[in-house]
Amino acid sequence: MPGITIGDTVPNLEVETTHGKFKLYDYFNNGWTIVFSHPADFTPVCTTELGKMAAYLPEFEKRGVKLLGFSCDDVQSHKEWIKDVEAYTPGCKVTYPIVADPSREIIKQLNMVDPNERDSSGNQLPSRALHIVGSDNKIKLSFLYPATTGRNMDEVLRAMDSLLKASKYKVATPANWKQGDPVVISPQVSNEEAKQVFPQGFETKNLPSGKEYLRLTNV
């Protein structure tokens, strides 16, 4: 996908949202933020996604992570749409801001445009893009889904937990990892260093190659 991606700094754009106007860095406030776009207001899959994000908000907040939605309609439309979202997912409250971007200028700069989706007037629409932005305002992870595939918020939370783990320890998380499972020690860490930094110990898997690169620990 052309445009900003993993490792790039998010530009400090001024955005108009359901919570008023602000600059992105003021909202990020040197913390982790999940920014996620939706093709349009009052569309079925997006309505389910916004509600699920609201339902998961307490989990993100526990981890010190903020949410910021994007859709290309205006603020008034977003406010009307939120009523539908909250009715569809009972108990959820959309307390996170949603950016309005009728001109598509912001979604283009954030690389959230779907090359294939257009509205009835031929205007480009956002894809289901999601960037996890770190406390240094850089993108740490990006998902890009087409309009036809709603996102799995369990996976968003799982990926967030993996990023937080890897930001704290010199580890990576293996396939299908979930919170509480063993993690792998980064290949850059020697066994000597691993003994120091993981005093709880680690297990080196015995593999046919004889290479001792798959080392598991619990953090």
- Taking CB under 6 A as the criterion, which residues in 113-132 touch ligand BEZ? 117
> Does residue 109 bind ligand BEZ (CB under 6 A)?
no
> Does residue 39 bind ligand BEZ (CB under 6 A)?
yes
Q: Are strands 139-145 and 113-118 parallel, antiparallel or unpaired?
A: unpaired
Q: Active-site residues: which are they?
A: 46
In 3D space, the residue among 34, 53, 47 whose CA is nearest the CA of residue 73 turns out to be 47
**Nearest distance in Å: CB 56, ligand BEZ:** 18
Are residues 119 and 105 in contact, defined by beta-carbon separation less than 8 angstroms? no
Q: Which stretch binds ligand BEZ (CB under 6 A): 14-22, 36-44, 61-69, 153-161?
A: 36-44
For ligand BEZ, the binding residue among 10, 15, 34, 46 (CB under 6 A) is 46
Per DSSP (E only), the strands in 6-100 are 14-17, 20-23, 32-38, 65-71, 98-100
> Does residue 44 bind ligand BEZ (CB under 6 A)?
yes
Q: Is the dihedral of CA 180, 184, 185, 186 positive or negative?
A: negative
> Does residue 4 bind ligand BEZ (CB under 6 A)?
no
- Taking CB under 6 A as the criterion, which residues in 147-166 touch ligand BEZ? 147-148
Q: How far apart are CA 20 and CA 37, in angstroms?
A: 18
**Nearest distance in Å: CB 118, ligand BEZ:** 10
Q: How far apart are CA 201 and CA 185, in angstroms?
A: 11
Cα 98 to chain centroid distance, Å, stands at 15
Q: How far apart are CA 64 and CA 71, in angstroms?
A: 24
Output 24 or 50, the one with its CB closest to ligand BEZ.
Answer: 50
Q: Which stretch binds ligand BEZ (CB under 6 A): 20-28, 39-47, 82-90, 186-194?
A: 39-47
> Does residue 144 bind ligand BEZ (CB under 6 A)?
no
Are residues 128 and 111 in contact, defined by beta-carbon separation less than 8 angstroms? no
> Does residue 45 bind ligand BEZ (CB under 6 A)?
yes
For ligand BEZ, the binding residue among 8, 22, 25, 43 (CB under 6 A) is 43
Residues that bind ligand BEZ (CB under 6 A): 39-40, 43-46, 117, 147-148
